[in-house]
Structure 1
Amino acid sequence: MDLNLLASRLDNIQPFHVMELSKMAAELERQGRSIIHMNIGEPDFTAPAPVLEAATRAMASGRLQYTAATGIPQLREAISQHYRAVYGLDVAPSRIIVTAGASGALLLACAALVSPGSEVLMPDPSYPCNRHFVAAFEGRARMIASGPEARFQLTEAMVREHWNEHTRGVLLASPSNPTGTSIPHEELRRIVGAVREHGGYTIVDEIYQGLSYEGEPFSALSAGEDVIVINSFSKYFNMTGWRLGWLVVPPEMVRAVEKLAQNLFICASSIAQYAGVACFTPEAIAIFEERKEEFRRRRDYIVPALRDLGFSVPVTPDGAFYVYADCSALADDADKLTLRMLNEAGVSLTPGLDFGPYTAKNYIRVSYATSMENLREAVSRLQRFFGKG
């Protein structure tokens, strides 16, 4: 095939570096090396028994056909009830679009809102796929440098400073990948207000919202019905491979998003949807909350351990299962350091390269979505690597 036939938009989409590292780690394992994976954002827990049993019942009953593009009514109602029970919010089921993972939700949001040449503001660092979805629809992700003093997040002041005639909206994540930090609730409301004044849209990725460890449960939906929220069953609900998520949109946007869903992927997996309903049962929620506490325990171990190794953790993460650690006291290039730690210590971590240029050289992302046994072994290996063991 003539590569000149490929669309020019591909020039604005870079490879996902963490996946390249994963391939390198897998090759070392094939060679017989022991590798501890702290690079991938995937819970080591899997779907609990109530969810598996619901999927089995769905398959046995033959409910394997296409569903409505917006999702089965039972699941949309269950999500709506979840917002009421956990966040005290009345979110009509009609505003909830069930999607093929959070990626499907972000695809629909960007397809509906991003016009060619328009700008979307987001913090640097950010999850790389967010800016690539914007680029896929020929928009421009404008990355705003954000350091630890702002919790690696956008602020109202940043939004007001950087908004221009090309800006149409903001794309946030709270808690964030790669930093595990959340936007303070009142600051988020102020950001929404600033965007609203400019007639723009606010998209908030809340896929780690269930894994928030500090303060009262909060959703950006409390800032107004015009806020667009993305969520997923992958993280808190431990269903990464099931490819199930949802999107909450303003009432006037529902029909446009439904039309896009009908054409882009017809519907989310029917089996995953019926299984997803069981996530909201008391029995399942109790399991997820126990697992959340285990993630908190791991965080409380790994953050001081990293500091003892010589990393700086300027902001203790309050959510997700990541630590964003400054390695500048240990090396002058985070990418080279992670390669050395992989090859010499057998510990796979992610350099800041994926998440934007501002922190690329000095930061690494540490995922603690692995067992305490693995975390302790990783720390022991890194102690020897840095000559501290």
Structure 2
Amino acid sequence: MPLPPLAYRTDRIRPFQVMELIKRAHALAATGKPVLHLSIGEPDFTAPALVLDALERATRAGHTHYTGANGTEALRRAIAGDYARRYGVEVSPSRILVTAGASGALSLGCCALVNPGDRVLMTDPGYPCNRHFVAAYDGIPELVPVGPETRFQMTAELVRKHWRDGVKGALLASPANPTGTSLPFDELSGIVDEIRGRGGFTIVDEIYLGLTYDDAPRTALALGEDVIVVNSFSKYFHMTGWRLGWMVVPEALAPVFEKLSQNLYICPSALAQHAALACFTPEATEIFEARREEFRRRRDYIVPALRELGLEVPVEPDGAFYVYVDCSRFSDDSSAFADELLRNAWVSLVPGDDFGENQPKRYLRLSYATSMENLEEAVDRLRRYLGDRERA
């Protein structure tokens, strides 16, 4: 029986190769090999007990019905309060939409702002799904090559250089996946001014903002109400599988986003929303901050350890839990090298192919969202294997 033809946009969306690689690593582990997973962009921590307790209370209280499409009033007020306490920025709860993860928020943003054929600036390398959100709404991801000289981040100069007919805005990430680098706030301000002056939109993905290590984090919301910000409970709050995020939009556009959410998603998970209220208690904040310090400790171990092995780290990450590693000393094909390390050292890393077109064969992404014990064991395995490899 013939199948119906697929929409042409499906050809523009490539498989998420990280997930394919993780499947191979798990298949190898299933054969009994002690694979160390340094490929997964997910905290090894889970939601703390007080959040789980809040979930249980919400379940027993019957909070399982639809909520408003933009989330519960209580959670939106809690998020607004967190912006005031942590970043010193006043945000009206009416500008906040709770979403089905940051992915739901980015999808809504592209649905609302991207017309067919519109071009959207984003960095290359960058998180692959961001390209695909734009493509899913028939927009065109305009990839801007970035490298160590700009900390793998966009600059105002690059916006000026790459803005052309058809460009409508930019989708940025700070701190970013796969590089773990942040936009200096002055540079972000300049970027916003450049885009604003051209009548474009700026969306900033701040999903890793809470996991910033070297300087006090600052939200792009401080740059004006026209900047759209996306965040999530997945990374700093360690609730990946709960699929809960949010976005902050201009007041005048909030009804439009709410309308789209009503039709596309109905509402975010009611139970996850009720449980997430516990994330903003002083007790929870103490836990999350202690875990942030643990991520910093892991970064401070793994970066010099990789450099000692000859795996160059051209830019030290200041956020998230990733290191973008230059493996060119050992291979001119990071995909083949990642497969070699998986098969021979049982260490799973992600090749750069997933993250764009700018020198992907040169780089690997390492995630240090795992225990120090695992990181130390991974370094030992890599040291032994790379040493044997060079002597062979």
Within 5 Å, give how 1:139-178 maps onto structure 2.
139-178=139-178
CA distance in 2, matches of 1:388, 1:83: 51
Seq. identity, %: 60
CA distance in 2, matches of 1:359, 1:249: 34
Give deviations 1:258-280, integer Å, cap 9, x for gaps.
Answer: 00100111000000000111100
SS in 2 for 1:154: coil
CA distance in 2, matches of 1:203, 1:217: 17
SS in 1 for 2:311: coil
Matching residue of 1:116:
116
Task: Measure how far apart 1:214 and its partner are.
Answer: 1.4
Letter of the 2:198 partner, please give it. H
Matching residue of 1:331:
331
CA distance in 1, matches of 2:283, 2:307: 37
Aligned residues: 389
Matching residue of 2:303:
303
Task: Measure how far apart 1:2 and its partner are.
Answer: 4.0
Contact 1:309 1:388 in 2 (8 A): no
SS in 2 for 1:211: coil
Matching residue of 1:134:
134
Contact 1:182 1:318 in 2 (8 A): yes
379-388 or 96-105, larger mean C-alpha shift: 379-388
Matching residue of 2:188:
188
Task: Measure how far apart 1:215 and its partner are.
Answer: 1.3
Matching residue of 1:293:
293
CA distance in 2, matches of 1:4, 1:166: 32
Matching residue of 2:38:
38
Task: Measure how far apart 1:359 and its partner are.
Answer: 2.7
Task: Measure how far apart 1:384 and its partner are.
Answer: 1.0
Task: Measure how far apart 1:58 and its partner are.
Answer: 0.3
CA distance in 1, matches of 2:145, 2:388: 33
CA distance in 1, matches of 2:224, 2:325: 34
Task: Measure how far apart 1:29 and its partner are.
Answer: 1.2
Give deviations 1:233-260, integer Å, cap 9, x for gaps.
Answer: 0000000000000010001110110001
Task: Measure how far apart 1:388 and its partner are.
Answer: 6.7
CA distance in 2, matches of 1:4, 1:148: 46
2:385 is equivalent to residue 385 of structure 1: yes
Matching residue of 2:263:
263
Contact 1:127 1:177 in 2 (8 A): yes
Instruction: Name the TM-score, length of structure 1 as normaliser.
Output: 0.99
Matching residue of 2:232:
232
2:362 is equivalent to residue 365 of structure 1: no
Within 5 Å, give how 1:62-77 maps onto structure 2.
62-77=62-77
Task: Measure how far apart 1:3 and its partner are.
Answer: 5.2
2:314 is equivalent to residue 314 of structure 1: yes
SS in 1 for 2:71: coil
Give deviations 1:269-299, integer Å, cap 9, x for gaps.
Answer: 0000001111000000000000000000000
Give deviations 1:46-91, integer Å, cap 9, x for gaps.
Answer: 0001111111110011111000000001100000000000000000
Q: Which runs of 5+ in 2 are unaligned?
A: none
CA distance in 2, matches of 1:265, 1:343: 41
> C-alpha root-mean-square deviation of aligned residues, in Å?
1.0
SS in 1 for 2:365: strand
SS in 2 for 1:324: strand
SS in 2 for 1:15: coil
2:10 is equivalent to residue 10 of structure 1: yes
Contact 1:124 1:359 in 2 (8 A): no
Give deviations 1:202-252, integer Å, cap 9, x for gaps.
Answer: 000000000000112200111111000000000000000000000100011
CA distance in 2, matches of 1:60, 1:130: 37
CA distance in 2, matches of 1:124, 1:165: 20
Task: Measure how far apart 1:312 and its partner are.
Answer: 1.0
CA distance in 2, matches of 1:177, 1:286: 25
